[in-house]
Structure formats: C-alpha cells, structure tokens
Amino acid sequence: KILAIDLLKIKKIENIQNLEGDFTNFRTQEQIREHFDSKVDVVLSDMAANTTGNKNIDSIKTGELCKESIFFAKDILKLDGKFVAKFFLGSVFNEIIKVAKETFKEINIYKPKASRKESKESYLICKYLRI
C-alpha cells in the first residue's frame, strides 16, 4: 500500500490514496496510522511550511515539521525501518540532529546535486530505530 499526503488538491493517481490534512494535527496522524495494519518499512517526508521569504523563519517552521515527522516515524516504523525528511539548514539544525540521534542509530545529511547551491534544502536520512 502507498499513502500519499498532499496539502494541495491534485488529480487522483491510480493505486494511491490521498489524505488531505494538517500533519501537525493529531487526527491527521491518526488517520495515517489507521491506514496501515502493521509497522511500516519507510517514512518519507517532503513537507515544508509555506515560505515567508524570511529564510530563518522558514527553516524553523520546516525544522519543526521535520522533528514532528521523526516523532511520528518512531511510532510507526519497524525497528529496521528507514526515515527520510526534507529540512532547511538553519538555526534548528542542531535540534533536528539531536532528535534524530536520540531516535535512530544511523543518520546522514544529504544535499542533492540537483538542488541549487544557494538553497538551504537538505535531506535527513536515518536508519534503525533505537529501542
């Protein structure tokens, strides 16, 4: 099963269920959990807050989404599960890394070559939940 969450209204894609909602809302997270009857192998978060133009505020808001998705992943992932999330480098970077290290045994930061050099966009890649 694949569950795609998109805050924008998009045309339905075959073999995918779309859930529209605010991820920071407990009920939205419950709807995601209810979709699966067991723990999952991967949690992939490409969430980003609406940008304001202020890179510091934008990195903080998206960083908070990243941390929230780590907490969610801890609850829904299998022990050997993988987690990937987008975030923007900024003042919350150390907090994100701290939460990731407390949650996963292995973490890496990746900036895709396709990403513009001036972009603060990076990806957090984590493996193996800590018990």
Whether 86 is a known active-site residue: answer yes
Catalytic residue (one of 12, 67, 86, 98): 86
Q: Which amino acid is at 66?
A: C
Q: Where are the alpha helices (DSSP H) in 1-131?
A: 26-35, 55-76, 93-103
C-alpha dihedral, 18 to 22 to 24 to 26, nearest 10°: -70
Kindly list the catalytic residues: 86
